[in-house]
Chain A
Amino acid sequence: MVRALLISATVGGVCGLLSCYMTLKGWALMGDAVSHSVLPGVILAYILGLPFSVGAFVFGVGSVATIGFVKQKSRIKEDTVIGLVFTGFFALGLVLVSKTRSNIDLGNILFGNVLGISSADIQQTLLISAVVTGVLLLFRRDLLLFCFDPTHARSIGINTGVLHYLLLSVLSLAAVAGLQTVGIILVVAMLVTPGATAYLLTDRFDRMTWLAICSSILSSIVGVYTSYWTDSSTAGCIVLVQTGLFVVAFLFAPKYGILRQRFNSSLPISMLPK
Chain B
Amino acid sequence: MIQSELIRIEADQICVDYNGTVALYDASLHLPSGCICGLVGMNGSGKSTLFKALTGFIRPSRGHISINGQSVAKAQRDQAVAYVPQNEGIDCDFPVSVWDVVMMGRYGSMNLLRIPRESDRVAVRDALGRVDLLELGDRPIASLSGGQRKRAFLARAIAQRASVLLLDEPFNGVDVRTEKLMAELFFQLRTEGRTILISTHDLSHVRDFCDLVVLINKTVLAYGETSKVFTPENLSLAFGGLPPDLLTGNSSSGDS
CA distance A107 to B13 in the complex (A): 64
Would you give 29 A-B contacts (Cβ < 8 Å), ordered by A?
A24-B91, A24-B95, A141-B107, A142-B107, A144-B96, A145-B104, A148-B91, A148-B104, A149-B85, A149-B90, A151-B57, A151-B85, A152-B156, A154-B55, A154-B57, A155-B55, A155-B81, A156-B79, A156-B107, A156-B160, A199-B95, A202-B95, A203-B95, A203-B97, A203-B142, A203-B143, A205-B95, A205-B96, A208-B95
Question: Which A residues have a C-beta under 8 Å from some C-beta of B?
Answer: 24, 138, 141-142, 144-145, 147-149, 151-158, 199, 202-205, 207-208
Q: Are A138 and B83 in contact, CB atoms less than 8 angstroms apart?
A: no
Known contacts A155-B83, A202-B95, A203-B140: does B104 contact A149 (CB below 8 Å)?
yes
Instruction: Tell me how far the C-beta of A144 lies from the nearest C-beta in chain B, rounded to whole angstroms.
Output: 7
Query: Which chain B residues border A144 with CB–CB below 8 Å?
Result: 96
Query: Which chain B residues border A199 with CB–CB below 8 Å?
Result: 95
Query: Which chain A residues border B55 with CB–CB below 8 Å?
Result: 154-155
Query: Which chain B residues border A141 with CB–CB below 8 Å?
Result: 107, 113-114
Query: Which chain A residues border B81 with CB–CB below 8 Å?
Result: 155
CA distance A199 to B95 in the complex (A): 8
Number of B residues, CB within 8 Å of A:
31
Binary CB contact string for chain B from 61 to 90 against chain A (1 if under 8 A, 0 otherwise): 000000000000000110101110100011
For B55, the closest partner residue in chain A by CB is A155
B108 lies within 8 A of chain A by Cβ: yes
B18 lies within 8 A of chain A by Cβ: no
Query: Which chain A residues border B112 with CB–CB below 8 Å?
Result: 138
CA distance A153 to B107 in the complex (A): 9
Query: Which chain A residues border B76 with CB–CB below 8 Å?
Result: 155-157
Q: Are B140 and A152 in contact, CB atoms less than 8 angstroms apart?
A: no
Instruction: Tell me how far the C-beta of B105 lies from the nearest C-beta in chain A, rounded to whole angstroms.
Output: 8
Instruction: Give residues of chain B (203-247) contacting chain A, Cβ–Cβ below 8 Å.
Output: none
CA distance A205 to B108 in the complex (A): 20
Q: Which of B94, B107, B113, B114 contacts A24 (CB 8 A)?
A: B94
Question: Which B residues have a C-beta under 8 Å from some C-beta of A?
Answer: 55-57, 76-77, 79, 81-83, 85, 89-91, 94-97, 100-101, 104-105, 107-108, 112-114, 140, 142-143, 156, 160
Query: Which chain B residues border A142 with CB–CB below 8 Å?
Result: 107, 114
Instruction: Tell me how far the C-beta of B139 lies from the nearest C-beta in chain A, rounded to whole angstroms.
Output: 9
Instruction: Tell me how far the C-beta of A106 lies from the nearest C-beta in chain B, rounded to whole angstroms.
Output: 39
Instruction: Tell me how far the C-beta of B99 lies from the nearest C-beta in chain A, rounded to whole angstroms.
Output: 11
Query: Which chain A residues border B107 with CB–CB below 8 Å?
Result: 141-142, 145, 153, 156, 158
Q: Give 17 new A-B contacts, CB below 8 A, not counting A152-B156, A155-B81, A202-B95.
A: A138-B112, A148-B91, A148-B96, A149-B104, A151-B57, A151-B89, A154-B57, A155-B57, A155-B76, A156-B107, A203-B140, A204-B96, A204-B97, A204-B140, A205-B95, A205-B96, A207-B95
Instruction: Tell me how far the C-beta of B43 lies from the nearest C-beta in chain A, rounded to whole angstroms.
Output: 19
Query: Which chain A residues border B56 with CB–CB below 8 Å?
Result: 154-155
> Which of B96, B101, B113, B160 gathers most chain A CB within 10 Å?
B96
Known contacts A157-B76, A203-B142, A204-B140: does B95 contact A152 (CB below 8 Å)?
no
Q: Are B108 and A148 in contact, CB atoms less than 8 angstroms apart?
A: no
Known contacts A152-B83, A152-B156, A203-B140: does B108 contact A158 (CB below 8 Å)?
yes
CA distance A203 to B94 in the complex (A): 8
CA distance A204 to B97 in the complex (A): 7
CA distance A24 to B140 in the complex (A): 15
Query: Which chain A residues border B97 with CB–CB below 8 Å?
Result: 203-204
Query: Which chain A residues border B101 with CB–CB below 8 Å?
Result: 148
Give the 8 A-B CB pairs with smallest separation, nearest first: A203-B140, A156-B108, A141-B114, A157-B76, A155-B83, A155-B55, A205-B95, A203-B95
CA distance A204 to B81 in the complex (A): 29
Query: Which chain B residues border A138 with CB–CB below 8 Å?
Result: 112-113
CA distance A208 to B105 in the complex (A): 22
Query: Which chain A residues border B79 with CB–CB below 8 Å?
Result: 156-157
Q: Which of A24, A153, A155 contacts B82 (CB 8 A)?
A: A155
CA distance A123 to B202 in the complex (A): 63
For B156, the closest partner residue in chain A by CB is A152
Query: Which chain A residues border B90 with CB–CB below 8 Å?
Result: 148-149
Query: Which chain A residues border B100 with CB–CB below 8 Å?
Result: 205
Q: Are A157 and B108 in contact, CB atoms less than 8 angstroms apart?
A: yes
Known contacts A156-B160, A204-B97: does B83 contact A151 (CB below 8 Å)?
yes
